[in-house]
Protein backbone atom coordinates (compact mmCIF):
# COMPACT_ATOMS: atom_id res chain seq x y z
CA UNK A 1 0.00 0.00 0.00
CA UNK A 2 1.24 3.46 -0.89
CA UNK A 3 1.04 6.48 1.38
CA UNK A 4 0.19 10.06 0.55
CA UNK A 5 2.67 12.59 1.89
CA UNK A 6 3.03 16.26 2.62
CA UNK A 7 6.59 17.36 1.92
CA UNK A 8 7.69 20.46 3.81
CA UNK A 9 10.49 22.92 3.39
CA UNK A 10 12.09 23.55 6.79
CA UNK A 11 13.41 27.07 7.48
CA UNK A 12 10.75 29.69 6.79
CA UNK A 13 7.99 27.09 6.49
CA UNK A 14 8.11 25.08 9.74
CA UNK A 15 10.34 27.33 11.84
CA UNK A 16 11.45 30.95 11.74
CA UNK A 17 14.32 31.42 9.28
CA UNK A 18 16.99 33.51 10.96
CA UNK A 19 19.50 32.57 8.25
CA UNK A 20 21.44 29.28 8.41
CA UNK A 21 19.67 27.95 11.48
CA UNK A 22 22.29 25.87 13.28
CA UNK A 23 21.64 26.35 16.98
CA UNK A 24 18.75 24.20 18.29
CA UNK A 25 18.06 26.86 20.92
CA UNK A 26 17.11 29.27 18.09
CA UNK A 27 14.36 26.97 16.78
CA UNK A 28 10.92 28.54 17.09
CA UNK A 29 8.01 26.89 15.29
CA UNK A 30 5.87 29.17 13.16
CA UNK A 31 2.24 29.67 14.27
CA UNK A 32 -0.10 26.81 13.35
CA UNK A 33 2.66 24.39 12.34
CA UNK A 34 2.27 21.85 15.15
CA UNK A 35 -1.53 21.88 14.89
CA UNK A 36 -1.42 21.61 11.10
CA UNK A 37 1.03 18.71 11.05
CA UNK A 38 -0.96 16.89 13.74
CA UNK A 39 -4.16 17.26 11.74
CA UNK A 40 -2.54 16.11 8.48
CA UNK A 41 -1.19 13.01 10.21
CA UNK A 42 -4.08 12.02 12.48
CA UNK A 43 -7.09 12.92 10.34
CA UNK A 44 -5.70 12.23 6.88
CA UNK A 45 -2.85 9.78 7.63
CA UNK A 46 -0.30 11.70 5.58
CA UNK A 47 3.38 11.00 5.99
CA UNK A 48 5.03 14.35 6.77
CA UNK A 49 8.56 14.65 5.42
CA UNK A 50 10.98 17.58 5.39
CA UNK A 51 12.84 18.37 2.15
CA UNK A 52 15.49 21.01 2.79
CA UNK A 53 18.54 22.60 1.18
CA UNK A 54 21.24 23.09 3.83
CA UNK A 55 24.05 24.70 1.83
CA UNK A 56 25.47 26.16 5.03
CA UNK A 57 27.32 22.84 5.32
CA UNK A 58 29.03 23.37 1.95
CA UNK A 59 29.83 26.97 2.97
CA UNK A 60 31.46 25.74 6.18
CA UNK A 61 28.97 27.70 8.31
CA UNK A 62 27.48 24.59 9.92
CA UNK A 63 27.97 20.84 10.17
CA UNK A 64 25.82 17.78 9.52
CA UNK A 65 25.57 17.46 13.31
CA UNK A 66 24.18 21.01 13.54
CA UNK A 67 21.46 20.12 11.01
CA UNK A 68 20.63 16.89 12.88
CA UNK A 69 20.37 18.77 16.19
CA UNK A 70 18.05 21.40 14.70
CA UNK A 71 15.90 18.65 13.15
CA UNK A 72 15.79 16.86 16.51
CA UNK A 73 14.74 20.10 18.23
CA UNK A 74 11.93 20.59 15.70
CA UNK A 75 10.67 17.08 16.44
CA UNK A 76 11.02 17.63 20.19
CA UNK A 77 8.81 20.73 19.96
CA UNK A 78 6.32 18.87 17.74
CA UNK A 79 6.23 15.85 20.07
CA UNK A 80 5.34 18.21 22.92
CA UNK A 81 2.28 19.09 20.80
CA UNK A 82 1.47 15.42 20.12
CA UNK A 83 2.91 15.00 16.63
CA UNK A 84 6.21 14.71 14.73
CA UNK A 85 7.94 14.76 11.35
CA UNK A 86 8.27 11.25 9.88
CA UNK A 87 11.62 11.87 8.19
CA UNK A 88 14.07 14.62 7.26
CA UNK A 89 15.95 14.83 3.96
CA UNK A 90 18.47 17.57 3.28
CA UNK A 91 20.99 18.46 0.61
CA UNK A 92 24.27 19.75 2.11
CA UNK A 93 25.79 20.81 -1.21
CA UNK A 94 26.02 24.00 -3.26
CA UNK A 95 27.32 24.36 -6.85
CA UNK A 96 29.90 26.97 -5.77
CA UNK A 97 31.57 24.56 -3.36
CA UNK A 98 30.52 21.10 -4.53
CA UNK A 99 30.60 19.05 -7.71
CA UNK A 100 27.65 19.20 -10.13
CA UNK A 101 26.91 15.55 -9.28
CA UNK A 102 26.81 16.26 -5.54
CA UNK A 103 24.63 19.34 -6.08
CA UNK A 104 22.00 17.37 -8.02
CA UNK A 105 20.02 16.85 -4.80
CA UNK A 106 19.42 20.60 -4.35
CA UNK A 107 15.91 21.91 -4.77
CA UNK A 108 14.44 22.64 -7.28
CA UNK A 109 15.64 19.14 -8.22
CA UNK A 110 13.02 16.54 -7.21
CA UNK A 111 15.76 14.10 -6.14
CA UNK A 112 15.04 14.27 -2.37
CA UNK A 113 11.28 13.84 -2.90
CA UNK A 114 11.89 10.89 -5.23
CA UNK A 115 14.23 9.31 -2.66
CA UNK A 116 11.67 9.86 0.12
CA UNK A 117 8.90 8.41 -2.04
CA UNK A 118 10.96 5.27 -2.62
CA UNK A 119 11.94 4.96 1.05
CA UNK A 120 8.40 5.48 2.37
CA UNK A 121 6.31 4.05 -0.49
CA UNK A 122 4.72 7.41 -1.31
CA UNK A 123 2.12 7.92 -4.02
CA UNK A 124 3.30 11.23 -5.46
CA UNK A 125 0.04 11.75 -7.37
CA UNK A 126 -1.73 12.16 -4.00
CA UNK A 127 0.98 14.22 -2.33
CA UNK A 128 1.81 17.89 -1.70
CA UNK A 129 4.80 20.20 -1.22
CA UNK A 130 4.59 23.25 1.07
CA UNK A 131 7.32 25.88 1.03
CA UNK A 132 8.03 29.58 1.23
CA UNK A 133 10.26 29.88 -1.84
CA UNK A 134 9.92 29.44 -5.57
CA UNK A 135 12.44 26.57 -5.50
CA UNK A 136 10.08 24.65 -3.18
CA UNK A 137 7.26 25.04 -5.70
CA UNK A 138 9.53 24.05 -8.60
CA UNK A 139 10.78 21.03 -6.65
CA UNK A 140 7.18 19.91 -6.11
CA UNK A 141 6.25 20.52 -9.76
CA UNK A 142 9.34 18.58 -10.88
CA UNK A 143 8.33 15.69 -8.60
CA UNK A 144 4.71 15.67 -9.81
CA UNK A 145 3.07 16.75 -6.54
CA UNK A 146 0.65 19.61 -5.88
CA UNK A 147 2.38 22.72 -4.59
CA UNK A 148 1.60 25.38 -2.01
CA UNK A 149 3.55 28.61 -1.58
CA UNK A 150 3.25 30.11 1.91
CA UNK A 151 3.40 33.91 1.97
CA UNK A 152 6.44 35.24 3.81
CA UNK A 153 8.31 38.55 3.64
CA UNK A 154 9.90 37.56 0.33
CA UNK A 155 6.59 36.59 -1.33
CA UNK A 156 6.53 39.14 -4.18
CA UNK A 157 10.05 38.20 -5.25
CA UNK A 158 9.29 34.47 -5.10
CA UNK A 159 5.97 34.60 -7.00
CA UNK A 160 7.48 36.90 -9.67
CA UNK A 161 10.37 34.48 -10.15
CA UNK A 162 7.90 31.63 -10.69
CA UNK A 163 5.76 33.67 -13.10
CA UNK A 164 8.88 34.60 -15.09
CA UNK A 165 9.47 30.86 -15.55
CA UNK A 166 5.86 30.23 -16.54
CA UNK A 167 5.21 28.30 -13.33
CA UNK A 168 2.78 28.76 -10.48
CA UNK A 169 1.81 26.93 -7.30
CA UNK A 170 -1.52 25.11 -7.03
CA UNK A 171 -2.31 27.36 -4.08
CA UNK A 172 -0.93 30.43 -2.32
CA UNK A 173 -1.44 30.23 1.44
CA UNK A 174 -1.53 33.12 3.89
CA UNK A 175 0.14 30.89 6.51
CA UNK A 176 0.75 27.25 7.44
CA UNK A 177 -2.81 26.71 8.71
CA UNK A 178 -4.20 28.04 5.43
CA UNK A 179 -1.94 25.59 3.53
CA UNK A 180 -3.25 22.68 5.63
CA UNK A 181 -6.86 23.80 5.12
CA UNK A 182 -6.28 23.76 1.35
CA UNK A 183 -4.84 20.23 1.52
CA UNK A 184 -7.76 19.05 3.65
CA UNK A 185 -10.32 20.37 1.13
CA UNK A 186 -8.38 19.27 -1.94
CA UNK A 187 -7.60 15.76 -0.61
CA UNK A 188 -11.24 15.27 0.46
CA UNK A 189 -12.41 16.28 -3.02
CA UNK A 190 -13.95 19.53 -1.79
CA UNK A 191 -12.17 21.73 -4.35
pLDDT digits (tens, 9 = 90+) for 20-59: 999 999 999 999 999 999 999 999 999 999 999 999 999 9
Q: What pLDDT, on the 0 to 100 scale, is given for residue 36? A: 97
Residue 60 CB partners (closer than 8 Å, separation 6+): none
Q: Is the pLDDT of residue 98 over 80?
A: yes
Q: Give the chain's mean pLDDT.
A: 96
Q: Is the pLDDT of residue 154 over 90?
A: no
Residue 186 a catalytic site member: no
Q: What pLDDT, on the 0 to 100 scale, is given for residue 69? A: 98
Structural domains counted in the chain:
1
Report which of 7, 117, 10, 132 is spatially closest to residue 73, judged by C-alpha positions: 10
The residues pairing with 47 across neighbouring beta strands, listed in sequence order, are 5
What CATH number has the domain bearing residue 79?
3.40.50.1000
pLDDT confidence tier of residue 191, bands split at 50, 70 and 90: low
144 vs 122: CA distance, rounded Å: 12
Residue 82 domain boundaries: 5-187
- 6: part of which helix (H) or strand (E)? strand 5-8
Residue 9 a catalytic site member: yes
pTM here is 0.96
Q: Is the pLDDT of residue 141 over 80?
A: yes
Mean pLDDT of 150-162: 91
Q: What pLDDT, on the 0 to 100 scale, is given for residue 179? A: 98
175 vs 38: CA distance, rounded Å: 16
Q: What pLDDT, on the 0 to 100 scale, is given for residue 2? A: 78
Amino acid sequence: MYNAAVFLDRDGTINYDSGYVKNPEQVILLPGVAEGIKKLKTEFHFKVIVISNQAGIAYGIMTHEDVRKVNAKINELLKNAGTEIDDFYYCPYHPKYSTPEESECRKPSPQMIVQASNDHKIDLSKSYMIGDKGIDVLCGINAGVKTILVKQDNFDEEINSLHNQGKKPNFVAANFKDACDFIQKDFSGGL
